[in-house]
Structure 1
Amino acid sequence: MEGAGDQAPVVAWMEHHQVVLYLSALVTGAVLGLAAPAASSLLETAISPVLAALLYATFLGVPFHRLRAAFADARFMAALLAVNFLVVPAVVLLLSRLVADESGLLVGTLLVLLAPCVDYVMVFTRLAGGAWSRILAASPALMLIQALVLPLWLALAAGSPGAQGGGGISWRPFAQAFVLMIALPMGLSILTRRAAPRVRFADRLASATTALMVPLMMATLLLVVSSQVPRVASRPDVVARVVPLFVTFALVMPVVGDVAGRMARQGRRERLALAFSGTTRNSLVVLPLAPALPDSMGMAPMVVVTQTLVELVVMAVGVRLLPRLIR
């Protein structure tokens, strides 16, 4: 018990400063990747196990048992689902036309922008004074719905005129990546939570894994950026094409969230939550799916990583700016 007591202040400190810690991990990863580009392949092999552990920790924090209760707040839930699964696809469809001539850029953009965040969106919402607990309660619905509709959206994109030259998506490796990196951690997290009240080991595992959430996120960001930044740096043309697209998305969606909240007669804290949910994407959850794409879409992982870099910088600004704009 003494160890747990000593650990609690450290965990609380990390949670309070996690945005700064995440940005530090990004900078460290970029410096490491540029200084030692030859180590990128070795660093890349470490991404999958660390990312799987992060996703397990993330899903442990998703209150799947609150799924029914979340829908009791009908107006907020309707606004949240409309923003993420009606408005976002329309906005992304328009923006993605800018990269529709290149299949890797197109599918990478769709993959990352169509998936709403279920983890650190709560962090940014809480720092901005938004109703983060509403997002927490709704996170199971966001996770389950995107798991169902994302393959359908990608299937449509793979058959679109803009996604040429790739022979479509090979669904077998894509399905394997989904099962191993998303379905399996999600299922294990649900089993752990169910067993925790009765099995001491499961309870300790859940507590320890939850406490490691911030370090696991930092490790994942560092590994992803350090392994991918040499590729990103070698293709400034890719960065130049997708960064304006991601910045535009980040500027449009807070306005959409605020307007949707006003239409649903929500208060200021709820409208802040809608703004952050519409803007923040599930990049680290969909990242393992990107390598399952065919070689002709090899730029997709680079696009996902670039979006992560843009988003974290934008969110660090947003937690200061959006509370002043949404009143």
Structure 2
Amino acid sequence: MKQHIERHQVWIYLLCIAAGLMLGMALPDAAPLAEAVLWPVLGVLLYVTFTQVPLTHLPEAFRDARFIGAGLLGNFVLIPAIVSGLLFFLPADPAVRLGVLLVLLVPCTDWFVTFTHLGGGDARRAIAVTPVNLLVQIALLPVYLWIFMGENFAEILAADRIAAVFVTLILLPLAAAFLTERWAERKPARAGTIERLGLLPVPLLGLVVFLIATAQVQAVADALPVLGHVAGIFVAFLVLALLLGLVLGRVFGLPATSARTLVFSFGTRNSFVVLPLSLALAAPWQAATVVIVFQGLVELFGMVAYLWLLPRIVLDRTS
């Protein structure tokens, strides 16, 4: 059932966004209620998502030094360099640039594993590396934003809710997920709990994007003129991420399944884990949230292309 839901998730999100936009336009007074409901739903989404990250098995990620080395180099050194180059092609709007930075600078921790499995990658290595990616990105994202946003970084940090949101919607769900995993591991009868929680991220994310669309109809309308431009940036990123994965897979001498896993790690970005940070910002920055949600949709279509391409090209180049 989980795989069936995940295979059709892009259509679920598109329908939810369309329904939210229609509700927001038809009933503008629904926006405050949608925003109020959004925060607890987002917290639950992040909690169940983090339960799918094997936080209690962090040391396992370092057993394959070549793979973890290639992943860390690509995700946290080379991809930020790629993103810095793509910034030259973006509009000058700081909110749009922030949205692109938030969503492209950090790797995915959820559907990365799903697409790795579907694309013939090494799901075991994908699962092992996700807690490393999650913890490193939490540490490095403020550094990246300071480097790329310049004087605007101070304004972002000054947002009234940013610290509270970071603690309550990222750190607390992360701690709760860790404790849940420890609890589930203590008795065999609890083993199915984590698996059942794994059914929830897609429906909850559908609800989140529905609520965002309802609450931010005006922000979506204001961002429409730049979304076509931003779409080109996101497609270019997907192409460059694919090429980077192929190159590093060869340089590090990875087997085909590990090389595919590397490509999916580089191509999938962390859209809804950074959503709380963008939502906590003031009204002039609301376009960042629209850009983040839009990137998630572009990425899902990109992953469909990856699923078709990788089995045809990775074996020839890295086997």
Q: How does 1:200-239 map to 2 (within 5 A)?
A: 206=194, 208-225=196-213, 227-228=215-216, 231-239=219-227
Query: For the Cα contact (< 8 Å) 1:271–1:326, is it kept in 2?
Result: yes
Give a deviation string over 1:137-183, Cα, whole Å, max 9, x none: 011110000000001111233325xx49x845316522211111110
Q: Deviations over 1:191-220 (max 9, x none)?
A: 122223457997676454334344323333
Q: Decide which of 131, 155, 166 is 1:178's aligned counterpart.
A: 166
For 1:275, the equivalent position in structure 2 comes to 263
Runs in 1 of length 4+ with deviation above 6 angstroms? 199-204
Q: Secondary structure at the match of 1:149?
A: helix
The aligned amino acid for 2:14 is: V
Is 1:121 aligned to 2:112, yes or no?
yes
CA distance in 2 between counterparts of 1:100 and 1:169 reads: 22
Deviations, residues 26-54 of structure 1 (Å, cap 9, x unaligned)? 22123313422234443333322222112
Identify if the C-alpha distance between structure 1 residues 218 and 115 changes in structure 2 by more than 3 Å, giving closer, same or farther. Answer: same
What is the alpha-carbon distance in structure 2 between the residues aligned to residue 198 and residue 133 of structure 1? 22
Distance 1:122 1:197, change over 3 A: closer
SS in 1 for 2:92: coil
1:112 aligns with 2:139: no
Q: Percent identity?
A: 35
Measure how far apart 1:133 and its partner are: 1.6
Q: Which residue of 2 aligns with 1:28?
A: 15
- Distance in 1 between the 2:259 and 2:192 partners? 36
Paired residues of 1:111 and 1:286 also in contact (CA < 8 A)? yes
Q: Choose the corresponding residue for 2:233, options 245, 249, 254.
A: 245
Code of the residue aligned with 2:106 in structure 1: it is A
Say whether 1:150 aligns with 2:141: yes
Deviations along 1:98-122, whole A, 9 cap, x unmatched?
Answer: 2362211111111111110010111
Relative to the length of structure 1, the TM-score reads: 0.86
Task: Give the direction of change, closer, same or farther, for the CA distance of 1:263–1:228 in structure 2 (3 Å limit).
Answer: farther
Q: CA deviation at 1:62?
A: 1.0
Q: Secondary structure at the match of 1:284?
A: coil
State the match for 1:9 in structure 2: none
Aligned length: 311
Q: Does 1:293 align with 2:281?
A: yes
- What residue is the counterpart of 1:72 in the other structure? 63
When normalised by structure 2's length, the TM-score is 0.88
Aligned with 1:62: secondary structure?
Answer: coil
